[in-house]
Structures are given as structure tokens and as C-alpha cells.
Amino acid sequence: MTASKTITAAIVVIGDEILSGRTKDKNIGYIADFCTSVGIDLSEVRIVPDVEDEIVAAVNALRARYTYVFTTGGIGPTHDDITADAIARAFGVGISENPEVIEMLLTRIKPEDLNEARRRMARIPHGAQLVKNRVSTAPGFWIGNVIVMAGVPSIMQAMIDAVADKLETGVKMIIETIDAGGIPEGAYAAGLSEIATAHPVLSIGSYPSFADGKFKNQIVVRGKDSEAVAAGVAKVNAMLAALRAAHKGA
């Protein structure tokens, strides 16, 4: 781990059920939080259907660009679980039944129940390392810079736990949130833009939410240098205080 290095990641969510709206994804937000907490910059997410060409294209585009690619979904025993084959094709490697996974499956499945379909879960691309986890005996796998995980959130989370210590991480992002209270975005936008321009190492955002007919705004100052973040936050607070004072005076 080099303190000054930037480590990036992307996610490929594989699943018709997400695109149809039937299942609401819970993995993106979880992986995003995880990445932020360990100092990995999540930089892009793609949701693709259960179509091999689409999975291959997304994985190959993203693995060339980012330090890590996490995939979720499509590693079960049914015919629509095609992720392992797609990943093997993306890497141009073979795929076959992994004896170690067969052993793992046999700890929970009786030998007479280990049918053809269940054996599919043991198909692992050549050169991949298994991502064993505490929830499911069917592992994920890690090949090159791509980490292939289940779509079921509890299993996906256990797989993240299993790889967390092995991931290279960068400097953690420091994120400070400042409540703008009742001050509308349009009143502080110019001042905020000036602060953002003066602090190019910071990423400063303004996030409105809308409820009961009113906007509630939050300003977020992000950066990897604690002094720069503190300086940015101080300027934002000073700007908001000046706007409040001007409003009271008006």
C-alpha cells in the first residue's frame, strides 16, 4: 500500500431481475460504502443483462481501466447463471470443474444430490483463486483484477469480507457534510463555486433533497488531505454564516 497511490474500482451488476425492476439492487450502495471506507475510489458502475456478450464487453472495458472490478450475480446452479463462463471468455482462459469446490459443496450436499446443475457452481475459470466465505459453500472467485461475487446481498457481503484484507487500498477519502439549513442552493452556488475553484484538490458537492414541498440542502466536502478538507469546510461555514447574517439583516 502506497499512501499516495489512487486505487480505483468499478462494479458490474449482472441481472435481468435488476433491469426489470423486480429486484431492487442493494449491492451497489454496500460496495460503494465499503470502497469509501477503505480508500478505494469507486469510479463507475454498469448494470447489464444476463447476456454473455454484454457481460464480456462490460468486464473487459472496465478491467482495463480500473484497479479492481467487482461483479455481482449469476454464479448459481441454474441455466441463467452464466457469469463464470462469461468471465473465462473475457480473459480468454478455459473453464472447468474445480475439485476443491466439489469438496466444499460436498460438505453441505449429499453425494447423491450433487447433480449436474449443482456441479455448475464448481465451474471456475482457469487461473482464478476461490473466494470462500462464511455464508455459502459455493465460492466466488478472483481472476486478474476481477472479483466475482454472488448477487444475494448476505453472500456478496461475506465475499467482500473475505477479500477485504487482500485488496490494495489508497488514502481514505475524508468526507465532511455541512447542513445548509434553509439556505437555498441558488443563494450559495456562486460562493461555493469560488471555494471549489480555490481548492482544486477538493471535490465539493451540493445535494438537495426535497420533502414536504421544501428543499433541504447539504454541502459535502471531500478530499484526501485533512488540512485541505478542514480549510474547505471552514470556508463553506463562513460563507453560510455570512448568508444567514445578510438574510437577517435584510
Range list of β-strands (E), the chain: 8-14, 41-48, 68-72, 95-97, 123-125, 129-131, 140-143, 146-149, 174-179, 203-211, 214-223
Of 85, 26, 27, 99, the C-alpha closest to 56 is: 85
Contact between residue 204 and residue 232 where contact means Cβ atoms under 8 Å apart:
yes
Minimal distance, residue 127 CB to a second copy, in Å: 26
Residue number with CB closer to a second copy (63 or 120): 120
Residues 179-208 that bind a second copy (CB under 8 A): 185-190, 192-193, 196-197, 203-208
**Among the candidate windows 72-80, 87-95, 162-170, 229-237, which touches a second copy by CB under 8 A?**
72-80
Q: d(Cα 155, Cα 19) in Å, to the nearest integer?
A: 21
For a second copy, the binding residue among 38, 118, 130, 225 (CB under 8 A) is: 118
Residues 119-158 that bind a second copy (CB under 8 A): 120-121, 135-136, 152, 154-155
**Among the candidate windows 10-18, 141-149, 160-168, 228-236, which touches a second copy by CB under 8 A?**
10-18
Of 169, 128, 119, the C-alpha closest to 148 is: 128
For the chain, what is the radius of gyration of the CA atoms?
Answer: 23
Minimal distance, residue 58 CB to a second copy, in Å: 9
Minimal distance, residue 75 CB to a second copy, in Å: 11
For a second copy, the binding residue among 64, 94, 107, 210 (CB under 8 A) is: 210
